[in-house]
Amino acid sequence: MKNRNRIVALLSVCLLIVLGAAGAGYPAEGKKVLKIAFASPLTGESAKAGTEMKDAANMAWEEAGYKVGDYTIEPLWVDVTTDPERGALALERAIIRDGAQVVTLSWNSSVVMSLMDVVAKYKIPYYFGHGASAGTLDEKWRSNPEKYSYFIAKGSAKPELLAANSYISVISEAIENGSFQAANRNVAIIGDDTDFGRSIGDAIRDSFVAAGWSKVYEDYFVMGTTDFFAQISKIKASNPSVIGGAISSPASAASFIKQARELGINAVIICDALSENADYYELTGDAVNGVLDSRPAWTEKSKTFEDAFKAKYGYAPSPFNGGHVYDYTHFFIKCCEGAIAKYGALDSETLYKFAQEVLLKGEITYTDGIVIDCYKFTADSAPSPVVGEGYYTFPVLQFMGPVINVVWPASQANAKFQQPQ
């Protein structure tokens, strides 16, 4: 009986080895396959954003025929939710069980923070973590660049480099030219209690205070909150001319904006990330009038993608979750092509080497994007993209009902800032 049990145990181990080999990307009959883990929140508060990202990435890969050179792409859609622990476990399963060889996409910064440890553990390259905006990711990466070198490049730049300059600039210029009659120089900060929300809040607060404004209120809330009346009453009592922060959940953003207007707040509201929801107007109605955001805007180059996306999926894409992901997916395809050309193979090792030896040295860029002029990374910018005019930068948008106008910088503006009534 003992010998029989040993034989069964040995056979089980052998079976696991065979399954593990198959899952680790060893295809039958010599077929060349690259297994990509597409990390996206497909359930939870960010499911809408995650689904749009999935659809945009799928469009780009379908255009490529899910092929790069003589490699067939096998997509592994991984629901990383909005919970860091669950997200890490989901990605770990995709690597161990399904043989994921490279990771891309994702959304919530706090989740990406946990995914960084997973790819470091298994030495799997992670390209273009899409919504990984929070500056805490850059700090974590720089705390141990060797360990976190498998987290190749963030899809988004540090909010300190974007929000810190853009919002205070448009408000200062509006005051100077008389289009904003500010009652005072008071600013209130509010947003998601997440790494991303606090990074945006810090950036807005610090930039306004540096410009001579007074912070009169600051608070953060659990993502998904929809009852803000108590907080808005306190904000109103602090008498701000500007209220600023990041609200990632569409339901939360709409609730905050509508309740603020219901309670008679006429301050300029900065709702960073609002335009990431293409259906924002259905949720906010005209309460959104005058609200500011800073995100990519559609360009003339975007029209073909917009039409094709809506025809395929039945809803309009947003510039960030749709256009931005579409751009980065094509950039990743270009990197895959580069890895094959340079090393003759496409796998975890060659994609990691390509990132270190080419991508992060600024030797490959993507200039055919529909929302950003040029995507580029360097050793100095890593893990964020190069930021600045002609590179990765966001204009300031102002919502007027279903219309989104660009109001800053002047070189991109199609309308002037309007003070909320």
> Which residues lie closer than 8 Å to 278 by C-beta, 6 or more apart?
52, 315, 316, 317, 318, 321, 322
What pLDDT is stored for residue 132 in this prediction? 59
Quick check: 13 pLDDT over 80? Answer: no
What pLDDT is stored for residue 18 in this prediction? 40
The DSSP line for 30-56 is: G--EEEEEEEE--SSTTHHHHHHHHHH
- What integer is the mean pLDDT of 82-90? 96
CA distance 207 to 187: 11
Query: Given the DSSP bridges, would you call strands 102-105 and 151-154 parallel, antiparallel or unpaired?
Result: unpaired
CA distance 319 to 274: 11
Q: How many CB atoms lie within 10 A of CB 182?
A: 17
> Are the CB atoms for 304 and 342 separated by under 8 Å?
no
CA distance 89 to 84: 9
Q: Among the residues of 65-158, which ranges form H helices? A: 84-96, 109-122, 135-143
Quick check: 410 pLDDT over 80? Answer: yes
Closest CA relative to residue 336, chosen from 55, 124, 102, 91:
102
The DSSP line for 382-416 is: TTSPPBSTTSB---EEEEETTEEEEEESTTT-SS-
Within this chain, domains 25-158+302-361 and 160-298+394-408 share the same CATH topology = yes
Phi first, then psi: give them for residue 180, nearest 5 degrees.
Answer: -130, 110
Residue type, 51: T
CA torsion sign for 340, 106, 38, 16 is positive
Is the bond preceding 319 in cis, omega lying within 30 degrees of 0? no
CA distance 59 to 90: 24
What pLDDT is stored for residue 399 in this prediction? 97
Phi first, then psi: give them for residue 253, nearest 5 degrees.
Answer: -60, -45
Domain boundaries defined on the chain = 25-158+302-361, 160-298+394-408
Closest CA relative to residue 244, chosen from 351, 184, 164:
164
Instruction: Please report where in the chains the tokens 């569409």 appear, as a residue.
Output: 250
Closest CA relative to residue 169, chosen from 390, 399, 395:
395
> Are the CB atoms for 157 and 384 separated by under 8 Å?
yes
CA 36 to chain centre: 18
> Check: CATH 3.40.50.300 for 25-158+302-361?
no
What pLDDT is stored for residue 235 in this prediction? 98
Domain boundaries 160-298+394-408, corresponding CATH code = 3.40.50.2300
Structure tokens at 387: 């930021």
Q: Report how far apart the first and last C-alpha atoms of the chain are (Å, whole number).
A: 84
Rounded percentage of the chain residues whose pLDDT exceeds 90: 75
pLDDT digits 0-9 by tens, 156-182: 887 767 777 799 999 999 999 999 999
pLDDT digits 0-9 by tens, 349-375: 999 999 999 999 999 999 999 999 899
pLDDT band at 1 (very low <50, low <70, confident <90, very high): very low
CA distance 381 to 384: 5
Quick check: 2 pLDDT over 50? Answer: no
Residue type, 373: D
Least confident of 56-70, 217-231, 293-307, 330-344: 293-307
What pLDDT is stored for residue 7 in this prediction? 43
Is the bond preceding 27 in cis, omega lying within 30 degrees of 0? no
Closest CA relative to residue 199, chosen from 165, 164, 159:
159
Structure tokens at 408: 């800053």
- What integer is the mean pLDDT of 181-201? 93
Mean of per-residue pLDDT scores for the chain: 90
- HEC profile for 232-297? HHHHHHHCCCEEEEECCCHHHHHHHHHHHHHCCCCCEEEEECHHHCCCHHHHHHHHHCCCEEECCC
> Are the CB atoms for 17 and 11 separated by under 8 Å?
no
Number of helices (H) and strands (E) in the chain: give both, helices first: 13, 13
